[in-house]
A = this chain, B = another copy of it.
């Protein structure tokens, strides 16, 4: 029976995400996807190509999710908050994990500039989404005119990366979730 491509990508992503690109062995993938080496190579090319597919798919899903929350909320700041709360700073089995893109960039930093670029582009894409929403918020009078949407978007990325990185480093998820709210409070106060 032919394999389920979407499911295979999903499972491969989970494994790459958890173990990293280099620590994930083809034999791990064979077991997880329940596919033999020949099938995997016929379907995806090779390990690096499969990883790239996972990276692009993850980035696309993230961007789609942001747009979803934007559509669900008339308040753009609330849209960003919901997106982050549900997609980014969220405990999985009591632990907050890093963004797959950020983790990949970190790992591939000194090794594979090629793969790294895809992850970088994905992050920039989400940042652009933030910027558009902050601009919309400004037009709606929700943040000050003197604030800079592009800069706020960068700041927001920094906050999310910080929270997730910290949550990943320590095992205290609840503190991090609280601090996310504090950060959003400071956003409303200062801008």
Contact = CB atoms under 8 A, between A and B. Distances in A.
Interface string A8-27: 00000000001110110000
A19 B162 contact: no
Nearest to A178: B151
Number of copies: 2
Contacts of A106: 98, 103, 106-107, 165, 168
A47 interface: no
B169 A155 contact: no
B22 A169 contact: no
A32 interface: no
A148 to B, nearest CB: 11
28 contacts: A19-B111, A20-B111, A22-B22, A22-B23, A97-B109, A98-B106, A101-B169, A102-B165, A103-B106, A105-B169, A106-B165, A106-B168, A123-B170, A154-B175, A154-B179, A158-B159, A158-B163, A158-B165, A158-B166, A158-B176, A158-B179, A159-B162, A161-B161, A161-B169, A165-B165, A186-B186, A189-B190, A190-B190
Q: Which 6 A-B pairs have the closest CB atoms?
A: A162-B162, A158-B162, A161-B165, A18-B110, A19-B110, A161-B162
